[in-house]
C-alpha cells in the first residue's frame, strides 16, 4: 500500500498530466527508444507511428493517477495489459528501464513544476504497479508452461497450411515443429508471432486472433493484409507452407464466457470476424443449447471471408441464424448478403434473443456504433464484450 502523502502527491499531478496529454508519452517513447534501441525488437513500432500506443499509454497513466486510492477499479485494465505483455515476452528487468524513462520524462516535460517530492511519489507509485504486473505476468507464464501442451517464451511452429480466404484475408494453420500437443485456448484469445526477416529493420512481434476452436494439435490464425503493414504483407507474400515461425502461447482476456443456457450474439466487421469465428466453432462443437446469432458487416463479397463456412453451419444448425451487411455491394454480390449499408440492429430485431450476451470486434467506428445501439436497447454492460485490435480504447 502507498502512504497517504504519496497518494495525495500523485493526485496533485493530475492537472499536469492532463495539460501535457499524449505529448508526455510520445516524449517517453522517443526517449526510451533512443537510449534503449533494443526495445524496438519488443514494441510494435507500427503503433508508435500511428500514435495509437502513446495515446493508450497516456490514458493508462492518467487512469492510474486518478484511481491511485482505488486500484481495484483498474483490475480489468491490469489483466488486459498483463496478457498483452506476456505476448511480447516482457521481463521483470524491463520494468526498471521503463520506470527510469518515465521518471525522466516527467521531469523533462514538467520542468520546474515537477519537484523532487513528485518524482519520489511517482517512483513509489510506479514501483507498486510494476510489482503487480510482474506478479500477474509470472502467474500467466507459469500457468501456460505447466499446462498440457504448454510452453514458455517462443516455440518453433511450422506453417502446415496457407489458404487465401478473401481478397484481404489469408489463413495460416500452424503446428509445433516438435510434433507435441499444444495448449488449449479460450475462443477470443490470440497468438503472438515473433518475426525476423531481411525486409524488417527490427524483430517484430504481432498478435493475431485465433480463428478456429481449440483442437490440441494446431492453431489457425487469419491475417488481414494491411495496405502499409510490413508484417501482414510479409506473411501474405513471403511466408509459405513449410516455413518456420516463432510463436508464443495463446493469451488475451477477451474470451467466450457465456454458459450453455445463455443466448450468444456474435457481431463483427471486416477482419473482426476472426475471434468471433473461434467462438462460433466452439459453441457449435460444444452443442450450445441456447440460440446463437452471427451478424457480420463488410464492404462487399470480395472481402467477405468465411462466407461459405458460416452459411453451411447456419444451414445445418437449427439454433444458429446468420445475417450479413455489405456496405458497397458489387453487381455479382446480389444474392450473397441480407442488408445494404452498415449494421443496424433494428433490421434484425426479431432475431435478437432476450438475455443474450453480445461479443463484437471490428474497426473502432463499428464497435462504437454497435455499443451505442446495444446501450440504447437497454443491454447492461455485463452482457457487452468487445476486443480492440491494437492499443485498447474505451468505446
Q: Could you report the per-residue pLDDT of 182-204, keeping only the tens digit for each?
A: 999 999 999 999 999 998 888 89
> What would the pLDDT profile of 380-393 be if each residue is shown by its tens digit?
999 999 988 755 56
* pLDDT of 170 above 80: yes
DSSP for 216-272, written as a single string: SS-EEEEEEPPTT-HHHHHHHHT--TT-EEEEEEEE-S------TTS-EEEEEEGGG
* pLDDT higher than threshold 90 for residue 11: yes
**Whole-number pLDDT of residue 75:** 86
Separation of alpha carbons 78 and 172, rounded Å: 30
DSSP 210: B
Which pLDDT tens digit goes with each residue over 226-260? 988 889 999 999 999 999 999 999 999 999 988 99
7's CB contacts (< 8 A; 6+ apart) are: 68, 69
CATH 2.40.30.10 domain range(s) in the chain: 155-251
Nearest alpha carbon to residue 101 among 191, 179, 157, 37: 37
Residue 298: phi and psi, rounded to 5, are -155, 180
Reported confidence tier of residue 304, pLDDT bands at 50, 70, 90: very high
- Cell 500523485: give the residue: 10
What is the reported pLDDT for 346? 97
The Cα 142–Cα 39 span in angstroms is 24
Q: Cα–Cα distance between 60 and 56 in angstroms, integer?
A: 6
Q: Band of the pLDDT at 28, cuts 50, 70, 90?
A: confident
Tell me, what DSSP letter sits at residue 225?
A: P
- Cell representation of residue 318: 437449427
Q: Binding site annotation covers 373? A: no
Contact status, residue 172 vs residue 232, Cβ threshold 8 Å: no
* Alpha carbons 35 and 380: distance in angstroms, whole number: 46
Strand partners, 238: none
Q: Which residues are tagged catalytic?
A: 95, 137
CA angle 352, 357, 361 (to 5 degrees): 95
Q: Say whether 85 counts as a known binding-site residue.
A: yes
pLDDT band at 52 (very low <50, low <70, confident <90, very high): low
- The C-alpha angle with vertex 306 and arms to 303 and 312, in degrees rounded to 5, equals 135
Tell me: is residue 271 an annotated ligand-binding position. Answer: yes
Q: Is 261 exposed, middle or buried (0-12, 13-18, 19+ CB in 10 A)?
A: exposed
pLDDT the model gives residue 62:
85
4-146 adopts what CATH topology? Globin-like (1.10.490)
Q: What is the pLDDT of residue 334?
A: 87
pLDDT exceeds 70 at position 377: yes
Q: Residue 18: which pLDDT band, with cuts at 50, 70 and 90?
A: confident
Contact 124, 13 (CB under 8 A): no
Distance (Å, whole) CA 389 – CA 229: 14
**Distance (Å, whole) CA 27 – CA 102:** 9
Domain 264-387, CATH = 3.40.50.80
C-alpha cell at 48: 508508435
Return residue ranges of the chain for CATH 1.10.490.10.
4-146
Question: Is residue 296 a known part of a binding site?
Answer: no
Is 190 assigned to a binding site? yes
- Rounded distance between C-alpha atoms, residue 387 and residue 391, angstroms: 10
218 appears as a binding residue in the annotation = no
206 marked ligand binding residue: yes
Q: Considering the domain 155-251, what is its CATH architecture?
A: Beta Barrel (2.40)
pLDDT of residue 74: 80
Looking at residue 56, its pLDDT comes to 76
Cα 9 to chain centroid distance, Å, stands at 33
Amino acid at each position: 500500500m502507498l502512504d497517504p502523502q504519496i497518494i495525495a502527491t500523485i493526485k496533485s499531478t493530475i492537472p499536469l498530466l492532463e495539460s501535457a496529454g499524449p505529448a508526455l508519452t510520445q516524449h517517453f517513447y522517443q526517449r526510451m527508444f533512443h537510449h534503449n534501441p533494443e526495445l524496438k525488437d519488443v514494441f510494435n513500432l507500427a503503433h508508435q507511428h500511428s500514435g495509437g500506443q502513446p495515446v493508450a499509454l497516456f490514458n493508462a497513466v492518467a487512469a492510474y493517477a486518478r484511481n491511485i486510492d482505488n486500484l481495484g477499479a483498474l483490475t480489468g485494465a491490469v489483466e488486459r495489459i498483463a496478457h498483452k505483455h506476456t505476448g511480447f515476452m516482457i521481463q521483470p528487468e524491463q520494468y526498471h528501464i521503463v520506470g527510469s524513462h518515465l521518471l525522466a520524462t516527467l521531469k523533462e516535460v514538467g520542468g520546474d513544476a515537477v519537484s523532487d517530492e513528485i518524482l519520489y511519489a511517482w517512483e513509489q507509485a510506479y514501483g507498486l504497479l510494476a510489482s503487480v504486473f510482474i506478479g500477474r505476468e509470472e502467474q500467466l507464464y507459469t500457468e501456460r508452461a505447466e499446462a498440457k501442451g504448454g510452453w514458455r517464451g517462443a516455440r518453433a511452429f511450422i506453417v502446415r497450411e496457407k489458404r487465401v480466404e478473401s481478397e484481404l484475408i489469408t489463413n495460416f494453420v500452424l503446428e509445433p515443429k516438435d510434433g507435441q500437443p499444444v495448449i488449449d485456448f479460450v475462443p477470443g484469445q490470440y497468438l503472438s508471432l515473433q518475426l525476423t526477416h531481411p525486409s524488417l529493420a527490427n524483430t517484430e512481434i504481432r498478435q493475431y486472433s485465433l480463428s478456429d476452436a481449440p483442437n490440441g494439435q494446431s492453431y489457425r490464425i487469419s491475417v488481414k493484409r494491411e495496405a502499409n503493414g510490413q508484417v501482414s504483407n510479409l506473411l501474405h507474400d513471403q511466408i509459405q507452407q513449410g516455413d518456420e515461425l516463432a510463436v508464443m502461447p495463446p493469451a488475451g482476456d477477451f474470451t467466450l464466457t457465456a454458459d450453455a443456457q445463455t443466448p450468444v450474439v456474435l457481431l463483427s466487421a471486416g477482419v473482426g470476424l476472426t475471434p468471433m469465428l473461434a467462438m462460433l466453432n466452439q459453441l457449435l462443437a460444444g452443442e450450445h443449447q441456447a440460440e446463437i446469432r452471427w451478424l457480420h458487416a463488410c464492404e462487399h463479397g470480395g472481402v467477405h471471408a468465411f462466407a461459405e463456412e458460416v452459411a453451411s453451419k447456419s444451414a445445418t444448425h437449427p439454433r444458429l441464424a446468420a445475417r450479413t451487411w455489405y456496405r458497397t455491394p458489387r453487381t455479382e454480390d446480389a444474392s450473397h448478403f441480407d442488408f445494404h449499408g452498415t449494421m443496424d440492429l433494428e433490421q434484425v430485431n426479431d432475431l435478437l434473443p432476450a438475455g443474450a450476451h453480445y461479443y463484437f470486434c471490428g474497426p473502432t467506428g463499428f464497435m462504437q456504433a454497435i455499443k451505442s445501439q446495444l446501450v440504447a436497447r437497454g443491454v447492461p454492460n455485463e452482457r457487452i464484450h468487445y476486443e480492440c485490435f491494437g492499443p485498447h480504447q474505451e468505446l
